[in-house]
Structure 1
């Protein structure tokens, strides 16, 4: 009897896991009528466990239709880029940016006016001689598992923390998960879930004796009160931070050859937001303003061309298990989605 119960539970778990991992596919018949589109919307809501009341569902149905049509159209262009109708599919570009984005350009400008500048001395990798043709810091054990910022514009804190986690591992051979929530709660120069700037986060970590591990200060996707340090509060420190020269992908490549780098991107556009797999190229619709931060954890080349490896923090259901392949070496010096405009990295000796 006990064995039978175990088998039943096991089968249920398998079915539940399969449902979560199942790809949400679109077919041409889904777009044949208003009725079929509504059935698609309900199926999408059930798949992603998103509940809307009747009024809200009616309001969001048109947005969902437009997003679904765009995803289907792009996926049938014969390109490697494939989009996915993910959990953001009934939000408009502006709503998505407001809920999940960070007004990084605003806070970066405020930070610059306040005199924030990082480590004096310019770009430390300017004269780097050995630049490998490819590198993936995940393979070197310097990148933590994908995290999820949730319904909070804390991407700036996640990008800063991920970059610090990586340089700490590179210098000490110890990979630890650090606390984004401490940065969100305690860096008063920026807006917490309303947005911020990873350079401000680097400065906060420098000026406050480091940052604690995630276990000591867990993330909850909201603004909280800054907690005082307790006894035996393990902290990871950095010695400074630097900005990579703007609009220079080769300089960015020099930096990423030595460590993961935080970058700011436009993300509210449908091609970035619904990214599923393949190469996001120059000309893809990322949005009209820089509103998100991610981390470049490597680069390489394949049959599609040169690419960057982008680590996001929307959870593993987004992209390729949380990652994106983005074109490297574009005609526009700003790079795809503006990723070469504001790169920075922490310094640790």
Structure 2
């Protein structure tokens, strides 16, 4: 293995390499409350996943479950604590030794999105191996030793204070047992953010964001778009390059071509926001009217893409043409989950005639943007979970252009203190980044920003 790969692996910064936080264990099932009816369905799904591949006579049963839920729109993330009972094993064809029935204490993370469940985390162990009595524990007692990194003596005190500020700032509420887990996740994330900060070659600052209590897997599953890694079924025609050199800087926000920052919520619908942002700009340039267009129409009516489970801009352009246009946000409002298509051709305010793929040369992209308007692009979202402000410039192995997983909108470019940047409109609300915007190094193909650039065409 190359030395730099070994370094990144040790730092836990390669995709999937970050260790899961050590979760403290509760005393036992007897002190737990019965589940609310709402928790039963995700708990049964988690049990089904636990039992997958097991013979019928060896499957565990669910005894007691409790937990909490986080919601945005109609997406729900369940954090469950459950006791499972495995039957005694007396069949010599299945087990080598006779084993009495066993009670397990399990932690599950279950995502409910579009009526479908997905198991994000499963951690089970015998009840008698758990730490006892958690009633008088403080947050500082939950901190794991993170990657065995040397930590200052006052680390736990500082982390408790930072975590309390985070909970207050973002209005978090947790069940007692979930708070322990989230504190552990948060602490690991702060160490991870520090490592990303140390290796960044730009001016970006990383730290606490509204996503700091999510594991890497949770964040990717809920907010990113794995379908962008796939090649589109059909390629769009290549746009003609702009022959002129681009101006030294450009910003469509100051020219009235960009709507306010929106929030996709707990839904992997970035592809729809990227495309509507591009169409909004194209319509403004051709018709002189800036309209906020409906992402929900694309979630509901684009039958090729997968709504909150991801999509491709190329498919979205085709869907707009097939449907006959886009309604406005006011007429077809965003709910962040799949609904029945209720598009009305009579209400469509905007149409497109075609879509084009743009050059991967960043100077040509800049020239096209300055002349033609905001551009739909896809990027690798490495580090964005913890991005606060500044120009991000991750090492290429960390932010591979071949692992793009988030669609956004290029709205401008320029330089800050001689550092060239792309100004990128994101769809995670104004309480993330620089009032909802992300700044990425320009000219180095950072994070694959130039790989999947496209635009609608309005005649």
Corresponding position: 1:311 with 2:434: no
Unaligned segments of structure 2, at least 5 residues? 1-150
Q: Which has the higher helix share?
A: 1
**Conserved 8 A contact 1:131-1:254:** yes
Deviation at 1:314, TM superposition (A): 0.6
> For the residues of structure 2 that align with 1:76 and 1:98, how far apart are their CA atoms?
26
Deviation at 1:75, TM superposition (A): 6.2
The verdict on how the C-alpha distance between 1:170 and 1:144 changes in structure 2, with shifts beyond 3 A counting, is: same
What are the equivalent positions in structure 2 for 1:52-71 lying under 5 Å apart? Answer: 52-71=174-193
> For the residues of structure 2 that align with 1:103 and 1:76, how far apart are their CA atoms?
27
Query: Aligned with 1:236: secondary structure?
Result: coil
The verdict on how the C-alpha distance between 1:47 and 1:302 changes in structure 2, with shifts beyond 3 A counting, is: closer
2:169 pairs, out of 47, 51, 54, with: 47
Query: Aligned with 1:222: secondary structure?
Result: coil
The verdict on how the C-alpha distance between 1:229 and 1:55 changes in structure 2, with shifts beyond 3 A counting, is: same
Counterpart in 2 of 1:256? 369
**Conserved 8 A contact 2:274-2:313:** yes
Counterpart in 1 of 2:294? 179
Radius of gyration: which is bigger?
Answer: 2
Deviation at 1:38, TM superposition (A): 3.4
> For the residues of structure 1 that align with 2:206 and 2:454, how far apart are their CA atoms?
29
Counterpart in 2 of 1:123? 239
Query: Aligned with 2:254: secondary structure?
Result: coil
**Conserved 8 A contact 2:297-2:343:** no
Report which stretch shifted further, 81-90 or 146-155. Answer: 81-90
> For the residues of structure 1 that align with 2:424 and 2:365, how far apart are their CA atoms?
13
Deviation at 1:69, TM superposition (A): 2.8
2:304 pairs, out of 169, 189, 196, with: 189
Corresponding position: 1:135 with 2:238: no
Corresponding position: 1:339 with 2:455: no
**Conserved 8 A contact 1:104-1:292:** no
> For the residues of structure 2 that align with 1:30 and 1:44, how far apart are their CA atoms?
21
**Conserved 8 A contact 1:30-1:37:** no
Deviation at 1:36, TM superposition (A): 4.4
Unaligned segments of structure 1, at least 5 residues? 1-28
Query: Aligned with 2:439: secondary structure?
Result: strand
> For the residues of structure 2 that align with 1:313 and 1:348, how far apart are their CA atoms?
23
> For the residues of structure 2 that align with 1:79 and 1:263, how far apart are their CA atoms?
21
> For the residues of structure 1 that align with 2:363 and 2:211, how far apart are their CA atoms?
33
Runs of 4+ in 1 over 3 A off after TM superposition: 33-36, 70-79, 284-288
Query: Aligned with 2:344: secondary structure?
Result: coil
> For the residues of structure 2 that align with 1:90 and 1:294, how far apart are their CA atoms?
23
TM-score, structure 1 normalization: 0.81
Deviation at 1:311, TM superposition (A): 0.7
**Conserved 8 A contact 1:300-1:306:** yes
Deviation at 1:235, TM superposition (A): 2.2
**Conserved 8 A contact 1:156-1:197:** yes
Counterpart in 2 of 1:101? 224
RMSD: 2.4
Query: Aligned with 2:253: secondary structure?
Result: coil
1:37 pairs, out of 151, 159, 162, with: 159
Corresponding position: 1:323 with 2:437: yes
Q: Which has the higher strand share?
A: 2
**Conserved 8 A contact 1:264-1:341:** yes
The verdict on how the C-alpha distance between 1:86 and 1:127 changes in structure 2, with shifts beyond 3 A counting, is: closer
Deviation at 1:171, TM superposition (A): 0.8
**Conserved 8 A contact 1:30-1:36:** no
> For the residues of structure 2 that align with 1:184 and 1:326, how far apart are their CA atoms?
28
TM-score, structure 2 normalization: 0.62
Corresponding position: 1:239 with 2:353: yes
> For the residues of structure 1 that align with 2:333 and 2:429, how far apart are their CA atoms?
16
Query: Aligned with 2:456: secondary structure?
Result: strand
The verdict on how the C-alpha distance between 1:34 and 1:131 changes in structure 2, with shifts beyond 3 A counting, is: closer
What are the equivalent positions in structure 2 for 1:136-155 lying under 5 Å apart? Answer: 136-155=251-270
Aligned length in residues: 305
